[in-house]
Amino acid sequence: MTTATAPSAAPLTAVDRCDRCGAQAYLRVQLKSGGELLFCAHHAREHSDKLREVAEHVQDETGKLANTSSASSSSDA
């Protein structure tokens, strides 16, 4: 999904929840109609085609998911 970041959007936090399922939101969509939707990474991918049609701005923080690391993977000897 090609995205643009809204200049005044605050970072998403653990309090921000997906409007579809209630999981932690990693995508904020500012709609052309003036509303806002929040999505988890799964639902953002599932609805990406439709979101491109209706979005004015998209704040995509799904990269945070790739930045997680496991402490056990580096401690195996």
pTM of the model: 0.75
How far is Cα of residue 11 from the mean position of the Cα atoms in its chain? 10
Q: Whole-angstrom Cα distance, residue 75 to residue 47?
A: 39
For the stretch 39-52, pLDDT in tens is 999 999 999 999 99
| Tally of domains within the chain | 1
Q: Whole-angstrom Cα distance, residue 65 to residue 14?
A: 13
Residue 55: beta bridge partners? 31
**Structural domain for 26, as ranges:** 12-62
For the stretch 56-69, pLDDT in tens is 999 999 999 987 66
For the stretch 14-46, pLDDT in tens is 999 999 999 999 999 999 999 999 999 999 999
**pLDDT of res. 67:** 72
What dihedral do alpha carbons 60, 20, 56, 1 form, nearest 10°?
50
Higher pLDDT, 73 or 59: 59
How far is Cα of residue 75 from the mean position of the Cα atoms in its chain? 31
